[in-house]
Structure formats: structure tokens, C-alpha cells
């Protein structure tokens, strides 16, 4: 057999698998928000949330690749249904801020576990990929919420929100 020994502990691997499910749930949540804004005819916000969903799918893929490259044995997790159904234009942005904070906290917990185990390889990977990305994600989410809370034309706000993603 030519397989190397798994490079990460069971505990770190389990946390990464939970993060894998969390990222795909974020993907589904943001696609729900994109569909909501699409039905409302607010194309810029539909595009904004489709782009956010793509980012979440990328994070999911990064974690999946890391687990695979580390030879961690796992079954891809399922996800529970999102219970957040938008009924106004502000709630999705509030929920996005909350969700990104939750995501950051989960990633920090993985990082802390890595440090406690002296798994510096995974800790470094987390810093380079997910933690760095979360700084941007939380900031963008807060700025988008701030824009949406302004007194201005909805379509002007939507254009500004979309511009946050470049």
C-alpha cells in the first residue's frame, strides 16, 4: 500500500468535516437569498448573493481538497435545510453578518485545536486560506448591511452592494 499516514488528528479532521458542511450550508443560504432578490427583480443583489455563494463553494472545495490531500478518512456530510426565508430586503444582510461571524468562530475553534495539538501545518493552512478570507467576508457583509440600512433608492444601494465584490 502506497498511502501515507493521515497528517491530521481525528479531532481536527472532524472539525474540518463540520466546517465542510457549514460552508456548503452557507452556499445554499446565499443561493436562497439570490433567488429571493431575483424574484423581486433586484438583479444586482441577486448577482451579489450568487457571487457570495460561489465564494462559499470555493471554501468548501478548499477544505475538501485539504482533507483529501491529508489522507483523512471521511464521509462527505449532508446539511440540514436552511430555515431562514427572506421576507424583506434587510434581513438577508443581517443574517449574512451573523452567519459570517459564526463561520469565523468555527474556523477559530479549528485553529485553536490545531495549535493545542501542535498541528502547525493545518494551522498555517487555515491562516493562509480560511482565516484571511473570513476577514474579508465579515467586512464585506458588514459594509453591505450598512449600505442597505441607508436612506437611499433601493437600486442605488443594490449597485453599491454589488460593487463591494469588485
Angle, in degrees to the nearest 10, between helices 10-39 and 91-117: 170
Domains of the chain by residue range = 36-73+85-163
Mean pLDDT, rounded, for 124-149: 96
* Statement: residue 1 has pLDDT above 60: no
CA separation, residue 153 to residues 75, 147, 149, 157, 159 (Å): 47, 11, 11, 6, 10
Instruction: Report, in angstroms and rounded to the nearest whole number, the Rg of the chain calculated over CA atoms.
Output: 18
Tell me the C-alpha distance between 56 and 58, whole Å: 5
**Domain range 36-73+85-163, CATH class:** mainly alpha
Tens digits of per-residue pLDDT, 29-72? 999 999 999 999 999 999 999 999 999 999 999 999 999 999 99
Query: In whole numbers, what is the pLDDT of the chain averaged over residues?
Result: 94
Residue with cell 467586512: 139
The 10s digit of each residue's pLDDT in 95-121 is 999 999 999 999 999 999 999 999 999
Q: How far apart are CA 25 and CA 77, in angstroms?
A: 11
Looking up cell 443594490 gives 158
Residue 85: Cβ within 10 Å count: 10
Amino acid at each position: 500500500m502506497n498511502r501515507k499516514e493521515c497528517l491530521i488528528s481525528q479531532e481536527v479532521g472532524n472539525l474540518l468535516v463540520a466546517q465542510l458542511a457549514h460552508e456548503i450550508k452557507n452556499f445554499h443560504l446565499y443561493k436562497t437569498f439570490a433567488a429571493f432578490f431575483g424574484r423581486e427583480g433586484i438583479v444586482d443583489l441577486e448577482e451579489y448573493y450568487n457571487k457570495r455563494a460561489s465564494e462559499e463553494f470555493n471554501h468548501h472545495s478548499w477544505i475538501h481538497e485539504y482533507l483529501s490531500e491529508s489522507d483523512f478518512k471521511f464521509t462527505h456530510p449532508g446539511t440540514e435545510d436552511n430555515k431562514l426565508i427572506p421576507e424583506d430586503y434587510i434581513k438577508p444582510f443581517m443574517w449574512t453578518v451573523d452567519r459570517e461571524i459564526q463561520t469565523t468562530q468555527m474556523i477559530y475553534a479549528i485553529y485553536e485545536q490545531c495549535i493545542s495539538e501542535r498541528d502547525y501545518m493545518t494551522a498555517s493552512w487555515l491562516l493562509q486560506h480560511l482565516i484571511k478570507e473570513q476577514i474579508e467576508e465579515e467586512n464585506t457583509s458588514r459594509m453591505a448591511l450598512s449600505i442597505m440600512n441607508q436612506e437611499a433608492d433601493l437600486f442605488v444601494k443594490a449597485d453599491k452592494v454589488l460593487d463591494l465584490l469588485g
